[in-house]
Structure 1
Amino acid sequence: MDSGDRHQFPPSDGKPQTGALRANAEAVQQMAAAVAGTLGPKGLDTMLVDDKGHVIITNDGVTILNKMEANHPAARMIANISRAQQEEVGDGTTTATLLTAALVEEGEKQVNKGVPVAKVIAGIRKGVQFALERMQEMANPIWDLEDEWLQRIAYTAGREQEDITELVIEAAMMVGREKLLERHFRLSESVVAHPRAESNIFAGLLPSRGRVNRTRPSTEGSLRVLVIADDLKPEPVVEGSLGTEAGFAKQEKLKQEFESTILFLVEQAIDLIVVQGEVDPHAEELLTDAERMVIQQIEAREIARIAEHTGARAIKRTGLKKTGDELDGILGVCEEVEDDESLQRIRILGGQGKPVATILVAAPTEELVDERERITKDAAAALQAAIRGGFLPGGGASELALAREVEKYRDTVQGMEAFGVAAVAEALHRPMVQVVANAGFNPLEKVEEVKVLQLKRQSSSLGIDCDRGAVCDMVDMGVVDPLPVKYHALQAAGEVSAAILRIHTVVRMKKAD
């Protein structure tokens, strides 16, 4: 988007700027246009090019929206919604963007007709809330990990790649339904792609390697694991006091105490020490001589996963001042630790804590690593979302059925808020319109045909077969989407479109001193 766009920051003379809504709507439409062509089975790729000539070709909505130049404030709001959608459910960023753009467009039309913007916003909120409630009622639950719909959902989200589908299903079986339902667990975070790997699943972790001392645990079987969410260094002396005799003496005392702590750890027969920060060189030398494996500079989220899998309790360095019995209570246990040189990672296998699975995905070339990893993460996220919330007919069929319900609801809403509800009903046509257009058919003709048959048969699953252009039952065709993906997309679209419609004027802030 051109940073010199005259609509980016309209001049302010103290009066309402009627052009602000139009400028914001245009910015939102430009963002939607960048991803619209990727939706559906016949969607195409988008090429992203930077000023140095580097090229990315992808059909992933969140990648496109986050990489493309977006200088307009409203455009950046759309990029933010895509990130939120990705973090929450791992899929549906393009749908969320298209619904937001459609709601802003329809809301602007109502405002231009003379409907007060406050009434339009109130109506949009009512319509979206009604649609969300009906959407939950329409969903088909999944109670069993062996449900055939899980395989179909993973297969579709995994771009119909059978090897990825099998890996994701096996990983889900390994961690179990209870783990998949946990609020903060993300199966997609278990995915690692590498050009020199062989695709497989294993019950363990593959954290980034960090820096490892050149030793391996001498113990066979149960290995004792200490997890430190901190540096493993002497406690620092207050800056400025080192120039005094007392400060120097204190520093020496802290060094001695720290060395005693390291020797104490050696005596406790700890096989593996995992450190989030850095390890003091002298401490690393002592631990290496004692054949204690040390991994350092591990990301915080991986520290948490290692602690959970091994059953350890992550501590700060101040927590090392414990007795042997107290230390035993915070140690974890695993069966094997391996420094995988080819992958530049560490394998931690057979932890006694909560079960985990790592999905290791092979990629034929370095260039395809990111794409293979992204596709596998999409499949894992879609599968987990379906387990949590069930599924709905895909291809825009469920949104079109919801549009019919919202239109009925509009007749029960009194006053001018009904115009905002009507905007929601119209916006819900957008996903199927775009899918049909991307398949090369006339969306006006095909969507109207589906609407008539949905009403006649009282069905919410009829849509368009993108190969033949015929009206078909999406569920019978295996075209379904997880409820959480659609739910969060519509919910986020309603919130962001209301926020954009509320913007009365845009004023450039003065430069900071």
Structure 2
Amino acid sequence: MSLKQVNRDTEVDERLAALMTNANAVRAVASAVEGTIGPKGLDTMLVDKFGEVVITNDGVTILDLMEVNHPAAKMLVKTAKSQQEQVGDGTTTATLIAGSLVNNGVEQVVKGVPVVRIIEGIRAGVKTALAFLQKEAQPLDINDPLLKRVALIAGREHEDIAELTLEAARLVGKNKLLDPNFKLLETVVAEVGAKNEVFQGVVINRTRMNRQMPAEIMGAKVLAIDDALEPEEIEEEALATEAGFNRFLQLQEEFRNNIQKIVELGVKLVIVDRSVSDAAEEILSDAGVMVLQRVSNKELRKAAEHTGARLIKRTGLKKDISEIEKLLGWAERVYEDEKLEHVRILGGAGESAATILVGAGTEEVVGERERIAKDAAAAVQAAIQGGIVAGGGAIELAAAREVEKERQKVRGMAAFGVDCVIEALKRPFSQIVSNAGFNPLEKVEEVWAAQAREEKNSLGVDCDTGDIVDMLERGIVDPAPVKIHALRTAGEVAEAILRIDTIIKKKETDTPDGRGKKEL
């Protein structure tokens, strides 16, 4: 064998090694969540070095908490998080499809198919499948009984959480659910010891500054300050001078006058992003004003939107009292729940808001119930926005059949990339029936043949009996946007990973803050 041939073989081996390494890392990530999918999916226990335990079958939670070091595995985890951020559900499906695309792609490379042809085929197959899913989506009204099935399936059959989610969805209305900037899952609040309820309003996870302030206010004017409620500061060096000290006294006096404006305006609730000075606390407390300090920016903005208040800085209090009045909001009722240690703002004059309050007996359980409720809320909103498709892996199997029809139109070796998509689309169904205790190879073939024979894309498997049933008739449905986004993101990350043919360790570089070197 010539030296040239040896070098060429070595180069090929190195590239295959990189692909195999990436494929193994992706396979490990997918295996961490595969046992959780479907109605018979089980839980995963995650334990940290301090012995803290999280028990869940929520895919994104598992991926977020598990220790991941390999770059390709991290890419897959980011894909799952992207799925969660965009549609709030379907992370396990996205992970399984992406993992299958990568592993099947690597197998084709080992057989001698060029990576560029595989990627070409994956793109073609994913495009066909996406078009099919969009065509199969059935619109859903907010009062449709199937919407509860969406909530139940995403909420892992928790009847109480499904009911809470539907109540909140109807409370905010269809137009709000269709708003891309609104996320129903963000209305979920979980508290230990709370009772399940939905109410029109927002929750601030803070209590009043002192017990002398009122615990309940009816018909409250609201002031929202995106700043500290303290006098402007003066540098210590300046305080040492007479002019600086006089300026300090002047600022203190101005600040007290500004606080007095709040009292004169009849404000009864002041929400502050940062800290509140002792002087402000004293004046407002004497005036019967409830003050909430160090409120998270997210909660502050939600309260402002609900009450119609406009956020201001502390310097905004220098304005004329008539100008400040225009920035105030209003709430029908504000009260502190001493048991749950939070304040509720109800009946605001601004945008309609709903809060889904979910309770449980312990911190561990309440955390899982919060994740379940957020999944249900996200699924309900996605179903309203983009309709529903047959669940239980049936629609992916039907999409695989559609892609197989298109395979004949693909030229050359790109067809092997299309095969990767076909196998990946079978993956969710296979894992669901496997978790239910059935032979996945047998059930895939049975349903594949039944769908073709009866021309019904909604046929799947009853995970209790193993019988072939119509998923739509059984109410086993999923939001179409969840499936569409899962397939799209899975295709993108699989392509990105398959394009990597060399892994190089970076040299040590200076850190951005100049504190030495780090190895990347």
Specify the TM-score bucket, using the shorter chain as the normaliser. over 0.9
The answer for the alignment partner of 2:198 in structure 1 is 201
The answer for the alignment partner of 1:332 in structure 2 is 329
Quick one: distance in 2 between partners of 1:116 and 1:230?
A: 58
1:368 matched to 2:356? The reply is no
CA contact (8 A) 1:311 1:333 kept: yes
CA contact (8 A) 1:310 1:352 kept: yes
1:174 matched to 2:171? The reply is yes
The answer for the alignment partner of 2:492 in structure 1 is 495
1:159 matched to 2:156? The reply is yes
CA contact (8 A) 2:217 2:268 kept: no
Shift of the 442–14 alpha-carbon distance from structure 1 to 2, 3 Å rule, reads closer
The answer for the alignment partner of 1:303 in structure 2 is 300
Quick one: distance in 2 between partners of 1:450 and 1:174?
A: 40
Shift of the 260–443 alpha-carbon distance from structure 1 to 2, 3 Å rule, reads same
1:41 Cα deviation after fit:
0.8
Match of 1:289 among 286, 289, 293: 286
The answer for the alignment partner of 1:506 in structure 2 is 503
CA contact (8 A) 1:136 1:483 kept: yes
Aligned alpha-carbon RMSD (Å)? 2.1
Match of 1:435 among 417, 432, 435: 432
Point out the more displaced range, 452-461 or 323-332. Answer: 323-332
Percent identity for Structure 1 against Structure 2: 54
Quick one: distance in 2 between partners of 1:14 and 1:510?
A: 24
1:80-127 per-residue CA deviation (whole Å, 9 max, x = no partner) reads: 222221222111111111011011012112222222222322322232
Shift of the 276–220 alpha-carbon distance from structure 1 to 2, 3 Å rule, reads closer
Unaligned 5+ segments in structure 2 are 1-9, 510-516
Which amino acid letter does the alignment assign opposite residue 75 of structure 1?
Answer: A
Quick one: distance in 1 between partners of 2:213 and 2:231?
A: 25
The answer for the alignment partner of 2:478 in structure 1 is 481
1:467 matched to 2:464? The reply is yes
5 Å matches for 1:4-43? 17-43=15-41
Quick one: distance in 1 between partners of 2:199 and 2:61?
A: 29
The answer for the alignment partner of 1:9 in structure 2 is none
1:150 Cα deviation after fit:
0.6
The answer for the alignment partner of 1:187 in structure 2 is 184
Unaligned 5+ segments in structure 1 are 1-11
1:346 matched to 2:357? The reply is no
Secondary structure of the corresponding residue to residue 429 of structure 1: helix
1:395-428 per-residue CA deviation (whole Å, 9 max, x = no partner) reads: 1100011111112222222343333222112210
Shift of the 54–264 alpha-carbon distance from structure 1 to 2, 3 Å rule, reads closer
Quick one: distance in 1 between partners of 2:80 and 2:416?
A: 27
Shift of the 77–244 alpha-carbon distance from structure 1 to 2, 3 Å rule, reads farther
1:321 matched to 2:321? The reply is no
The answer for the alignment partner of 1:111 in structure 2 is 109
The answer for the alignment partner of 2:374 in structure 1 is 377
Shift of the 260–49 alpha-carbon distance from structure 1 to 2, 3 Å rule, reads same
Point out the more displaced range, 255-264 or 424-433. Answer: 255-264
Quick one: distance in 1 between partners of 2:239 and 2:132?
A: 68
CA contact (8 A) 1:197 1:360 kept: yes
The answer for the alignment partner of 1:45 in structure 2 is 43
1:216 Cα deviation after fit:
4.4
The answer for the alignment partner of 1:69 in structure 2 is 67
Which amino acid letter does the alignment assign opposite residue 123 of structure 2?
Answer: R
TM-score normalised by L of structure 1: 0.93
The answer for the alignment partner of 2:91 in structure 1 is 93
Shift of the 39–318 alpha-carbon distance from structure 1 to 2, 3 Å rule, reads same
5 Å matches for 1:131-280? 131-142=129-140, 144-209=141-206, 212-216=209-213, 221-237=218-234, 241-280=238-277
Which amino acid letter does the alignment assign opposite residue 504 of structure 1?
Answer: D
Quick one: distance in 1 between partners of 2:235 and 2:217?
A: 43
Q: Which runs of 4+ in 1 moved over 6 A?
A: 12-15
Secondary structure of the corresponding residue to residue 36 of structure 2: coil
Quick one: distance in 1 between partners of 2:25 and 2:217?
A: 61
Secondary structure of the corresponding residue to residue 319 of structure 2: coil
Which amino acid letter does the alignment assign opposite residue 277 of structure 1?
Answer: R
CA contact (8 A) 2:226 2:312 kept: yes
1:242 Cα deviation after fit:
4.5
Which amino acid letter does the alignment assign opposite residue 384 of structure 1?
Answer: Q
Shift of the 217–489 alpha-carbon distance from structure 1 to 2, 3 Å rule, reads same
The answer for the alignment partner of 1:130 in structure 2 is 128
